[in-house]
C-alpha cells in the first residue's frame, strides 16, 4: 500500500510537470486530489490493510496528500504569474507613440463679435440688458410710436404666436430689440419710485440690448428670418446728438480701426427723432470705390437717432427733463464686413466647415 502511494506521488508529480495552463491544472487537481481522484480511490482500499499497519499507511497517505497539495500550490502561483505577465505584455501601451489631439471647441463668430461689441460699450459704461424674445404687440410696436397702420405691423411680416388669452395678433416674436428699451426704462423708473425718488431725480440709463429677432422674410444671401440685433440706449439729462456721434465714432474705430470715418445720413424710424443712418468709409478700398461698397466708398453699418419724446414718456421719463439716444446694428453685418463673408445664411446653418474658420 505504501509502495502504491509512493508510485502515485511519483506519477502525479510527473504529470504536474506537463501541465501547461490554469485549466489543465484544475483538471490535474480533480484527477489526483479530488473526491473521485486517484488518492481517494486508493484510500478506499484501507479496509484490506491489516489493523497494525494502518497508522503507518495513514501517515504515509497524509504525507503524499500534503506533498501533492504543496506542489499544486507552487505550480498554480507560477502559472498565474506567467498568465499575468503575458496579459501585461499584450495590453502594453507604447508611450512613445504620438497622442491623438482632443478636438477643441470654439466660439461661434457671432459670439465673438457680440463680445467685442459688449467690451467696447462696457468701457463707456454701458451694461448688457437682456429682454424677452416673445413680445406683446404693445411693446414691439405701440409703445415705440409705430403708427397703427405702419407697414412693419403687417401680419405677413411678423411671426405671431398664440397668446394664452386666445386674442389674435397680440403676441409675436420680436421683430427688433427695441421693445427692450421700454422694459428697461420702466424697470429703472419703478425701482426709483420705490426708492422714493422724484420725477426729476431718475437715474440715467446706459445699456446695450442684444438678442435674436425674427421677421417673416424671403431667405436670401442678405436676409434671414432670424438674425441678431444689438441696440443701444442712453437716457439722462442734457444728452445730445453730439454724445451719440462721439459714442458711435468710438465704437466703430474700436472695431474697425482708428482711421475710420463716419457719415450720418438723415433717415426715419418711428422711435427716434431726428433719425440717421450711419455709414463708415469702406474698409476694403478706404473710400475710393470697390465691389464691397458698390463703388460708393461707404458701407452702411448702423441706424440711430435721439429717442422720440413719446418713447421716453412711455418709458416713464419726462421728455421735458430727459433726453436720450438710441442706435441699432446687426452683428451679422459687422461680422460679414470684418471677415469678408458673402452669405448671411452661413451663420445659422451650423455648417462646421464655416464655423471652424473662426
Ligand atoms: Zn469699397
| Ligand 1 centroid from CA 303, angstroms | 20
CA nearest neighbour of 171 among 221, 141, 135: 135
pLDDT given for residue 21 in this prediction: 84
| 3-state class (DSSP) for residue 68 | helix
Check the CA dihedral 305-199-209-153 and report its sign.
negative
Cα 245 to ligand 1 centre (Å):
23
Provide the 3-class DSSP secondary structure of residue 235: strand
Phi, psi of 190 (to 5 degrees): -60, -40
The Cα 16–Cα 315 span in angstroms is: 97
Q: Using one digit for the tens of pLDDT, what is the confidence trace for 279-331?
A: 999 998 988 999 889 999 999 999 999 999 999 999 999 999 999 999 999 99
Superfamily of domain 109-131+177-211+227-355: Bira Bifunctional Protein; Domain 2 (3.30.930.10)
Give the pLDDT confidence score for residue 215 in this predicted structure.
92
Closest CA to 236 of 138, 306, 292: 306
Residue 173 near residue 162, CB atoms below 8 Å: no
- Quote the CA–CA distance of 156 and 223 in Å, as a whole number: 16
Give 330 Cα–ligand 1 centroid separation in angstroms.
19
Q: What pLDDT, on a 0 to 100 scale, did the predictor assign at position 221?
A: 84
Q: Where along the chain do its domains lie?
A: 2-90, 109-131+177-211+227-355
Query: Is the pLDDT score of 166 beyond 80?
Result: no
Percent of the chain with pLDDT over 70: 99
- Enumerate the β-bridge partners of residue 99: none
- The pLDDT tens digits of the residues spanning 204-237 come to 999 999 999 999 888 888 888 999 999 999 999 9
Distance between CA 194 and CA 321 in Å, rounded? 20
Residue 165 predicted with pLDDT over 80 = no
3-state secondary structure of 265: strand
C-beta neighbour count of 131 within 10 angstroms: 20
Give the Å distance between the CA of 299 and the centre of ligand 1. 8
pLDDT band of 248, cuts 50, 70, 90:
very high
User: Ligand 1: distance of its center to the CA of 263 in Å?
Assistant: 15
Terminal-residue alpha carbon distance, the chain: 90
pLDDT in tens, 329-356: 999 999 999 888 888 889 988 888 998 8
Q: 112 C-alpha to center of ligand 1: Å? A: 24
* pLDDT of 167 strictly over 80: no
Distance in Å, CA 335 to ligand 1 centroid? 16
**Which of 43-47, 145-149, 320-324 is modeled with the greatest confidence?**
320-324
Strand order in the sheet with 262-269: 127-128, 205-214, 226-236, 323-329, 298-307, 272-281, 262-269
Specify whether the CB–CB gap between 141 and 152 falls below 8 A.
Answer: yes
CB 331 within 8 A of CB 117: yes
Query: How high is the pLDDT of residue 153?
Result: 76
- Condensed to tens digits (0 to 9), the pLDDT of residues 6-40 reads 888 888 888 888 888 888 888 888 888 888 888 88
Distance 221 CA to ligand 1 centre (A): 19
| Residue-averaged pLDDT of the chain | 91
Q: Which residue has the cell 459670439?
A: 111
Amino acid at each position: 500500500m505504501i509502495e502504491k502511494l509512493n508510485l502515485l506521488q511519483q506519477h502525479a508529480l510527473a504529470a504536474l510537470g506537463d501541465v501547461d495552463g490554469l485549466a489543465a491544472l484544475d483538471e490535474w487537481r480533480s484527477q489526483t486530489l479530488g473526491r473521485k481522484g486517484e488518492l481517494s480511490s486508493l484510500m478506499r482500499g484501507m479496509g484490506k490493510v491489516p489493523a497494525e499497519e494502518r497508522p503507518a499507511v495513514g501517515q504515509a497517505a497524509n504525507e503524499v496528500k500534503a506533498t501533492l497539495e504543496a506542489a499544486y500550490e507552487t505550480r498554480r502561483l507560477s502559472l498565474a504569474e506567467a498568465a499575468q505577465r503575458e496579459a501585461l505584455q499584450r495590453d502594453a501601451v507604447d508611450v512613445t507613440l504620438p497622442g491623438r489631439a482632443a478636438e477643441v471647441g470654439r466660439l461661434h463668430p457671432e459670439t465673438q463679435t457680440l463680445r467685442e461689441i459688449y467690451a467696447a460699450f462696457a468701457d463707456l459704461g454701458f451694461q448688457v440688458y437682456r429682454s424677452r424674445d416673445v413680445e406683446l404687440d404693445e411693446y414691439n410696436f405701440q409703445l415705440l410710436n409705430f403708427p397703427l397702420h405702419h407697414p412693419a405691423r403687417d401680419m405677413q411680416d411678423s411671426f405671431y404666436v398664440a397668446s394664452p388669452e386666445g386674442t389674435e395678433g397680440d403676441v409675436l416674436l420680436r421683430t427688433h430689440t427695441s421693445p427692450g428699451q421700454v422694459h428697461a426704462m420702466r424697470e429703472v423708473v419703478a425701482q426709483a419710485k420705490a426708492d422714493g425718488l422724484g420725477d426729476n431725480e431718475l437715474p440715467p440709463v446706459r445699456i446695450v440690448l442684444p438678442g435674436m429677432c425674427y421677421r417673416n422674410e424671403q431667405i436670401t444671401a442678405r436676409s434671414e428670418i432670424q438674425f441678431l440685433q444689438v441696440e443701444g440706449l442712453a437716457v439722462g439729462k442734457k444728452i445730445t446728438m453730439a454724445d451719440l456721434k462721439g459714442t458711435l465714432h468710438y465704437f466703430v474705430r474700436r472695431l474697425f480701426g482708428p482711421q475710420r470715418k463716419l457719415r450720418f445720413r438723415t433717415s426715419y424710424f418711428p422711435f427716434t427723432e431726428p433719425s440717421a443712418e450711419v455709414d463708415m468709409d469702406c474698409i476694403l478700398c478706404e473710400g475710393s470705390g470697390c465691389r464691397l461698397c458698390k463703388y460708393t466708398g461707404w458701407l452702411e453699418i448702423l441706424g440711430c437717432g435721439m429717442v422720440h419724446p413719446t418713447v421716453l414718456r412711455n418709458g416713464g421719463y419726462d421728455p421735458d427733463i430727459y433726453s436720450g439716444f438710441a442706435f441699432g446694428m446687426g452683428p451679422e453685418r459687422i461680422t460679414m464686413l470684418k471677415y469678408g463673408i458673402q452669405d448671411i445664411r452661413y451663420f445659422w446653418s451650423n455648417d462646421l466647415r464655416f464655423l471652424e474658420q473662426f
